[in-house]
């Protein structure tokens, strides 16, 4: 299931990110360096080098923002997250249909299983033409173009693409997550239960007996499905 997360970054944070990424010495390179053998054929964009000081500094700020964003944790149940990276599309650049690699290398030389892919938008929708993220699943295609500071999460097994950016610049951040709960259906079930508990807590108060029972059920289900 695709999920939209709002206000991961504040407006001042977005402005600071955009200013840093627009600097003449930002050091953009061809985006094919992080694509798999097949995806490299259809990937036409630019990104920051993974080891550049700017990429690492901004990436750390993204991880801090995600750590304080409760809806992200509830939706992803993250175990590990790849270092965030940054890309830009303009002048007709695009990323054709592809499925993300199942395994991603981590800075310590290990591997992370990519359960979820994430795009954090850093450009406002009105700043560029085209550039929609198209995600396909068993129910059809979804087109996503969110305000700057918002994020979309979707299963890494989904086929997806970015349509050509025919005007302006589409700047964003992308990363992958290994969830504590491997299965998409199990993770969606837990997320739905969590949202229901939150709504009932507002309606009936945290001391309500039935809310307490549902909360215990949620944690016992997480205990059953989680891998750590």
Annotated binding site, which residues?
Answer: 98, 100, 160, 170
CA torsion angle for 196, 159, 33, 144 (degrees, to 10)? -60
CB 71 within 8 A of CB 191: no
Residues in binding site for 2-oxoglutarate: 170
Q: Where are the beta strands (DSSP E) in 76-212?
A: 78-81, 85-90, 94-98, 103-105, 111-113, 116-121, 128-130, 133-137, 140-144, 151-155, 159-162, 165-179
Residues in binding site for Fe cation: 98, 100, 160
> In whole angstroms, what is the distance from residue 169 CA to residue 91 CA?
8
- Diameter over CA atoms, the chain: 59
Nearest-CA neighbor of 116 among 228, 31, 3, 223?
Answer: 3
Q: Provide Rg for the chain, Cα atoms.
A: 18
């Amino acid at each position: 299931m695709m999920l939209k997360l709002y206000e991961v970054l504040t407006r001042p944070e977005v402005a600071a990110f955009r200013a840093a990424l627009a600097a003449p010495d930002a050091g953009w390179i061809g985006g094919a360096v992080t694509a798999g053998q097949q995806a490299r054929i259809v990937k036409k964009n630019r990104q920051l080098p993974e080891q550049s000081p700017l990429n690492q500094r901004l990436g750390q700020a993204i991880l801090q923002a995600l750590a304080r964003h409760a809806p992200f944790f509830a939706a992803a149940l993250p175990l590990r997250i790849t270092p965030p990276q940054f890309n830009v599309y303009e002048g007709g650049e695009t990323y054709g249909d592809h499925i993300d690699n199942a395994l991603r290398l981590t800075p310590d030389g290990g591997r992370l299983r990519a359960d979820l892919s994430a795009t954090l938008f850093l450009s406002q929708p009105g700043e560029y033409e085209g550039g929609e993220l198209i995600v396909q699943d068993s129910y059809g295609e979804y087109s996503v173009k969110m305000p700057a500071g918002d994020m979309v999460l979707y299963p890494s097994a989904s086929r997806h693409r970015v349509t050509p950016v025919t005007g302006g610049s589409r700047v964003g951040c992308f990363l992958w997550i290994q969830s504590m709960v491997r299965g998409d259906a199990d993770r969606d079930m837990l997320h739905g239960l969590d949202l229901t508990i939150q709504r009932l807590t507002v309606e009936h108060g945290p001391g309500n007996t039935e809310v307490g029972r549902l909360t215990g059920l949620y944690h016992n289900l997480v205990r059953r499905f989680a891998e750590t």
